[in-house]
Chain A
């Protein structure tokens, strides 16, 4: 069973002559341990796909299942709990709270989920250590570099028992070295059992994924197949 499954998702905005389809009949499955990238140009429906997968938005038709449970059959409170406990979001502009330290930013979702502050901070510190940024735990976002802020955002997305990571252009605001570091962290989170979806227009980023899905005008038009052995890349020794 896939951890995240989108079944025939369509999403439209407006009505009548202003009706616009952002997604048309999109299907996607992501298992735990898997990193899937969704590639497409601006306006292709990437962000809608992510917000619907993360229950931040309702599809016009189709079904979203997380761990086999349909979001449509969940109450408002159940969905809110799912977002707090299971799903982590990473955005291009980090979305950290400026008045809280790195540690507090990471522990806040756990505290909102009724975990004791002490336990929440212990788990938050473990997440920061996992991402390799524990020494910056007492710093506020404006005291951190862009790369460090995004690391904190990733720690916040995977803290506790979150098994679904949804990232929208996570390295869009970073230089290539920091962008690469961010993708390595997301991959490492996947190796630890997280299911991840990264939407991007950047092939460098997408190439970190196990599979890449191509979106065009709201439709999934293509998908990469798992690569053959890496040895096929190495040029054969010339014979003459």
Chain B
């Protein structure tokens, strides 16, 4: 999560106090990602050092200091917004590694492991959905954050469903070994 760029986005609306930036960041993300004061001020100091923002030098350090976006900060913000977020390299997903590992451990039923995670993920989705039922209609930022989380959890459940189906097919194939190579050969495209 780029707190740095989110703060630049808030300052694109005009000069703001440090405490105000923290409050607006939390409200703007539906209070799902709380920030502590230290994190806000250390990020603001870094942004000031890199010339992306400037402050009123005469004021003391602390909540009364006003920050504003520089031209450099504005172009950095637009560069960030117009650059695709890096999703090219697959994350090292612990669940995927766990399922792959379980296949090698004698006495472990990978289907049980899949169901354990499926239930856990659905329980998490239930919690997010119930939040949405209560509040989402009234807060656009919160609804967007909850939608993102639900879609992420749902995609993991879909992968578990696929994995379960694939493992079942693999088990069936190993039960009829004589038939499968023939079918496979038939499926290989002719050149």
Contact = CB atoms under 8 A, between A and B. Distances in A.
Residue of B34, B127, B131 with most chain A CB atoms under a 10 A cut-off = B127
Nearest to A210: B126
Interface of B is mostly: helix
Contacts of B122: 39, 203, 206-207, 212, 224
Interface residues of B, number: 31
A230 B129 CA distance: 10
Nearest to A180: B132
A235 B157 CA distance: 22
B31 A234 contact: yes
B34 A234 contact: yes
A233 B131 contact: yes
Contact-size category for A: 20 to 34
B126 A224 contact: yes
Interface stretch (B4-12, B92-100, B113-121): B113-121
Contact of A222 (B115, B126, B130, B161): B115
Contact of B129 (A207, A228, A232): A207
A216 B168 CA distance: 13
Given A230-B131, A237-B36, A221 B115 contact: yes
17 contacts: A39-B122, A203-B154, A204-B129, A204-B150, A207-B126, A207-B129, A212-B123, A214-B119, A224-B126, A225-B123, A234-B32, A235-B32, A235-B33, A235-B34, A238-B39, A239-B36, A240-B38
Given A204-B125, A236-B34, A238-B34, 6 more contacts: A201-B161, A203-B125, A204-B154, A208-B129, A224-B122, A228-B127
